[in-house]
Structures are given as C-alpha cells and as structure tokens.
Amino acid sequence: MHGRPRQRAAGETSGSENDKELAKVAELQELIPSILHNHRTCCYTKEALMQNAKLLELNPEFYTAWNFQKRAVQHLLSSETDEEAHKRIIKEELDLVYRALKVNHKSYGAWHHRKWVIALGLSPLDSEFTLLSKVLKLDARNFHSWDYRRFAVRMKGVPINEELQFTTEKINENFSNYSAWHNRSALLSELYRNETGGKEIVQGRLEEEFDLVKNSFFTDPNDQSAWFYYSWLLGQVVAPVGPELNGTWPPHTSELVIECSEEPTHLSITCTCPLQRVTSFVSSGVPLLLSFTEAVTGVNNETVTFHSEPEVRELSKLSWRPVGFSQEFSQTWATEVRFQNKDDKSLLLSELTNFAVDIEVAVVPGIVSPGGQPMQGPVKCSKVSFHFGTTDNAAKKTIGEELMAKQLGAIGLVEEETSKGENQTQIEAGAWQVKILETEIESILELLKIEPDSKWAQLTLIRLLTARESFSRSRIERPADEVEKLQKLQGLLRQLTHIDLPHSEYYQHEQSLLILREVVLNLERPKEPQHLSSLLNLRSSSLYTLGCFEHFLWVQHLDLSNNHLRSTHGFEALQLLENLNISHNQILSFTALAPLALLPLLRILNISFNEIGAHPIDTCRVLFPSNLSNHFMSQVLAGNNEVNPWEVRLVFQNMNLTDLDLTGNPVVNSSKFMKALTAVLPSTTLHTNESSECK
C-alpha cells in the first residue's frame, strides 16, 4: 500500500502464522452458522451478541455481522427508556468497535459502524479525538482515520483554522503524510467557499501554502505527496471559479446561406466562417453548438436566448440537448433551427427573410457544473446572419470579403468590440495569478539546478510553463512566439518520456495536447488570407489522444490516420463530422468507437488496420453505457476474442453510414461478426480486405 512493502511481524515464522490462521478459520466456521441464524430470526439475546462480538474481533471485515450489530443496537435502544441505559449500550458498542480496530485499524466496516453509532448523538466526542490520536501515532497516513477525523470535526464544529493547525503539525512531523496534505486541501476548499475578506485574503493564503509545500519538496524532491498538493495549489490559481463557454458553432460573425434542396425536409447550408472558412452540408436544419470548459447542466431556453432582427419567434422554442451518453450533464450542447415544408406546418423558406441573430448564454442563473459551480453571465457568444435563397459563388465571395474586416476580432469568443478598458480590467484581474506562476517557475528552476534528474520537478516545470502560456493567451495577451514555446514544451516532455519510462504513455498524452494547441494556433493565424476547407488533416501527427474539441466544432472531414489513438472519447462534440479516417491506429474494440454513434452527419468511416478483435479484454468498455455480463466474462475466461452482436448493434444500429472500411482488423475473419454487421448496416458499402468489398 502506498509503495510500502508488507513486512512479517517480528518473531513470527511462516509456520506459526499458518497455524494461527488455521485455528482462526476453524473458529470462524463454527461461529458463522449461528450468527446467520440469529440474523435471520432477529435474535438479540446476550448470548447472540457475545457470539457476534467474538466473530467481529476475529474478522472485522465480516459486514453481515456489523449489520446484525446495528439492528441489535436499534432493538436494545427501543426496548429501554432510561437515558443511562442508552448511554451504557452505546459505550459497549464503541468498546466493541475499538477492539475490532485493534485487530485491523484499516477496517472499513469498523470505521463505518463507529460513524453510525456516534451519529446517534449519545456519546461525547472528546473520546473520539483521543482514539484518533492513538491510531494516527500507529499510522499517520491512515486515510480511514483522517476520513473519520473529518466526520468528528464536523460533528463537534471544530473551527477550520484550528484543524489547519493540526494538519500543519502532522506535515511538519512527516512531509510524506499524503493524507494530511489531502485533508489540508479539503479544509482550504471549504474555507475559500466561505471566505469573507475578498480575493486579497485568498491570495495571501495561497502564497503561504506555496511556501509550506516548497519546504517539503526542497527537503525531499522525490517524495510525491507534496508534489500532488503543489499541483492542487496551482489549480486554485489558474482554474476558473465555475464553468465557462469556450466554443460555439457557428462562430462569431458567421454568415449562413440556406437553400432549398430536392428533398423538402432537408436543407443545403453554406456557412462562411471567420478567416473565410466555407463549409457546406445537407441537413434537416441548422445545428447550433455550445461548448463549455467542463460538463454542465441547465442549458435551456431560459439560460440561452436569441435576439433576432427581424424577430423570429420560433427561435424561442428551440430544444437544447446534451451531446453524450449522459442525459443531464455534457460539455457540448446542441440544438437545431429547422425550416421545414408545408406538410410540417412550420416556417416556409419562401416566406422567410434574411435575419441576424445574437446568441447570449447564462442570461439567468441555471447553468451549473456537477460540483454545483454556476456559470457567470451573461455572455454574448455569437452573432450569426441567416440568408435564404440560392447564392452563387460570386455572392459567397462577397460575403467573404465583408468578413475580412472582422476577422482579427472574431476568433473564438473574442469579439472585436472589446474595449481597451475591458482588456485592461482583464490584465489587472489576472496580474496576481501571473505573478504567482512566474515566482513558482523561478523556484522550480532553482530546484532543478540542485536536482537535475528529478522527474517531479521537470513535470511541474512543464505544467507551470503550460499554465503560464494558456493563462496569458486567454486573459492577458497573445504572445507572438506561442508556437515556438509550445514546441519547446513538447521537447521537454519527450525528454521526460525517456527519464520516466513507466509513465511514458501519460507524457505522450500530454504531448498530444500540446501538438493540438499548436495546430489551433496555426489555423487561427494563416500566413495569408485564403479560403480554408472543412478538412482537418492530422495524419501522422504522433497523437495518442484528441482534445481541444472546442476549436474543431467546424470540422467535417477529419484525417487521423497513422497515429496512436486507442479511443474516440470526446469525438461526440464534432457534430458536423461527415468523413472520419482513423486507420492505422491502435483501436482495440468496437466499444472504443461508441462516441461515433452520436454523430448525426457521419457517412464515411475508415477504421482499417487497427486491432479490433485481436485482444480478449476490452479496456474501453468502461466508457461505454452498458454493464459487464456474465456471458461476456465467461467468453473472456475461455479465451474467446469474438465480438458479441450486441456490441455491433449498440455502436452501428443508429448510424447512417454509406461507407465503412474494416480492412486489416482481425474481427473481419469472424463470420458471426460479419453476419451481425450486415444485418445492422444493410445498405452500407463494407470494405473488409484490400482487394474486395461486400455489401
């Protein structure tokens, strides 16, 4: 546990241990039938309670015995009316738990039962702190004891500052006390929520915490406890207080041309986005997407409003939906503006006039994160112009020329109307964060002079530099050498990959995110004005993961071939995606493709030359909304690698693919799989080998 090897008790031999264990097992086997019988028959006699207590002292992890004990206490309390008798019953119960904890001071059942007894409110709390003092002397990092201490502190109403002093004492006794560091973070989080002195007090406390934790890792740079706490502190500096809007589609100052198609229930849509990116697609309506920095709920017609000119009342009736498997929380939310035919008794294209729409988010409170943090608003996120009727290329060019004057101020969510005064306010608001980051960068560089091979110091330096650049870019200024700095950070991560091989895959994932940030910068800063296609080419980019989805909402054609992807987690945000190539990656199972089922416009999918069907264990199943089944586990234990038909149905049955390439995946050799796939996708062209295709 926690990197510490288990050691045999002094003076005991393996033979004596074995004899004791056999005697213990024999005694348990004799007691258990009686305990279960008493539990079933609700027998709470003195003899039954003595037997149960004896069993718990032998094995405190016998949960059924604790449940019996709880019912027995309830029975005894209800049958006694004298207050002194109640106190005696509670004291006997606490003594039993104490004896069980002497056998195993990390027993979940014993600590949980003690919480239940104390919550009855019939015992003084001072004795609990005495017990905790004894246990923490035995093992200062025992997280059971720390969790129980937080419970006792809440019950007694101990002031936060007093408890912070206790954690300081424990940390000074041993810098490696991870449980004490964790308890300190919980206390400070509560304190910040209730702080009544303004941001200056919070800033002062953070600076004190940085001084405390730096004493720890300068003393022992290889101890991970302080580094984890240090990482948490950095998060308090740079993380937003609540969720924020970080992407929209259509983006700010877009022009949409809506045309009739041959099929009356579908529209041909041409969108001219900032930087002259032109996208065209056919859909049943115009999709609108909102992307947030974290998953949120509460996106609806009250929290998101549309101000149109001239007024279009139907916009107030839009229904927002979370994009993902959750029905409540999502980072991306979508809706669709429909302009349908007469049979639907809805708006007619011929009756519509051109109009512009301003979209505003968090107009009223209601958008919150899973942790209950509200989004601050309102935020004017996007201004979109709708044009109806046929538009030729010359007209599209005119639209693009009109947008050129707006391009520099229309990237992402940054509007050109932002005044100098507002920019100055942002700089002042973020000055203390930047100051802390720069101070900490200097401290870590100083440590690296002493300990050049410290992986923790190198990783923290990368995180600090990344946070400094991200913070500056989003809140203060946009440095001209951003790409160069990102490339230097990638180089540092590559070095760390060789220094710390066991965690190389983590560093590769972090490097992938830096590569994607570089891609975003290059897209936002083309060397010369040009019409950009809706294709994003990330072929052979050494990517182990895909992120920055808020910047890629516009993508319709995505080439991710020849990378190292194992999952499509997060791809559901790309609601305009029509063509996806993830060939020559490391996809191991169909459940790794589950998010693709949420892409309504996806038609062409190339997953050739991956590893689907080659491995018996599906490590992506945890991301998929289904339970493990006994049938599946029996197949795994038997060494059966075949994909089950339900996996094929749940991934592909709601997809409207016209072309699917499975060439080079071992799963195509399974007749059971091919039969299931052709049943689910009867009209899809299936490619299963390099020289042929089947339908």
Q: pLDDT tens digits for 356-401?
A: 889 999 888 999 998 888 998 888 888 888 887 654 444 444 443 4
Cα separation of 281 and 533, whole Å? 13
> Residue 329, Cβ neighbours under 10 Å: how many?
16
The strands making up 535-537's β-sheet, listed across from edge to edge, are 535-537, 557-559, 579-581, 604-606, 659-661, 685-689, 692-694
- Say yes or no: 501 and 610 in one domain: no
Q: What's the rounded Cα separation, in Å, for the pair 462 and 496?
A: 10
- Does residue 20 belong to any structural domain of this protein? yes
Asked if residue 673 is part of any domain, the answer here is: yes
Q: Are residues 497 and 601 in the same domain?
A: no
Q: For residue 8, what is the DSSP state?
A: P
Query: What mean pLDDT is predicted for residues 5-30?
Result: 68
Of 661, 545, 543, the residue nearest 609 (C-alpha): 661
Q: What is the mean pLDDT of residues 249-278?
A: 73
CA distance 535 to 557: 5
The segment with the largest mean pLDDT, out of 11-15, 241-245, 267-271, 522-526, is 241-245
Is residue 653 scored above 70 in pLDDT? yes
Whether 239 is in a domain gets the answer no
Calpha distance 75→49 (Å, rounded): 12
Q: What is the DSSP letter of 579?
A: E
Report which of residues 691 and 289 the model is more confident about: 289
**Tell me: the pLDDT tens digits for 38-48?**
889 999 999 99
**CATH number of 571's domain:** 3.80.10.10
Q: Number of folded domains in the chain?
A: 4
Could you tell me if 361 and 269 lie in one domain? Answer: yes
Q: Are residues 525 and 537 in the same domain?
A: no
Predicted pLDDT at 321: 93
Distance of CA 351 to the CA centre of its chain: 45
352 and 497 housed in the same domain: no
pLDDT of residue 405: 35
**Which stretch of 85-89, 100-104, 165-169, 196-200 has the lowest confidence by average pLDDT?**
196-200
248, 291 contact by CB (below 8 A): yes
**603 domain residue, yes or no:** yes
By three-state DSSP, how is residue 3 classified? coil
User: Beta partners for 335?
Assistant: 288
Lowest-confidence pick of 21-25, 579-583, 644-648: 644-648
Answer with the one of 391, 418, 445 that is the final residue of a domain. Answer: 418
Q: Are residues 487 and 614 in the same domain?
A: no
The pLDDT value given to residue 474: 52
pLDDT of residue 527: 54
Write down the pTM of the prediction.
0.77
Mean pLDDT (the chain) is: 80
* Domain coverage including residue 73: 15-158
First to last CA, the chain: 54
Asked whether residue 271 carries a pLDDT value surpassing 70, the answer given is: yes
Report the CATH number that the domain containing residue 42 is assigned in CATH. Answer: 1.25.40.120
398-402-406 Cα angle (round to 5): 155
pLDDT for position 393: 44
Let me know whether 410 and 502 are in one domain. Answer: no
**Which among 158, 189, 223 is the end of a domain?**
158
Residues 37-61 as b/e (b if ≥16 CB within 10 A, e otherwise) read: ebbeeeebeeebbebbbebbebbbe
pLDDT class of 188 with cuts at 50, 70, 90: confident
Shared domain for 490 and 544, answered yes or no, is no
Considering the domain boundaries, does residue 472 fall inside one? no
* pLDDT at 668 (0 to 100): 87
In a domain, 452, yes or no: no
Please check whether residues 360 and 490 belong to one and the same domain: no
The pLDDT value recorded for residue 19 is 76
Q: State which amino acid sits at residue 470.
A: S
Instruction: State the chain's maximal CA–CA distance in angstroms.
Output: 95
Number of Cβ within 10 Å of residue 287's Cβ equals 19
Q: With a cut of 90, say whether residue 572 has pLDDT above it.
A: yes
317 and 353 part of one domain:
yes
Q: 488 and 366: one domain?
A: no
Residues 517 and 551 in one domain: no
Mean pLDDT of 592-616: 90
User: Where a domain ends, among 372, 388, 418?
Assistant: 418
Indicate whether 323 belongs to any domain: yes
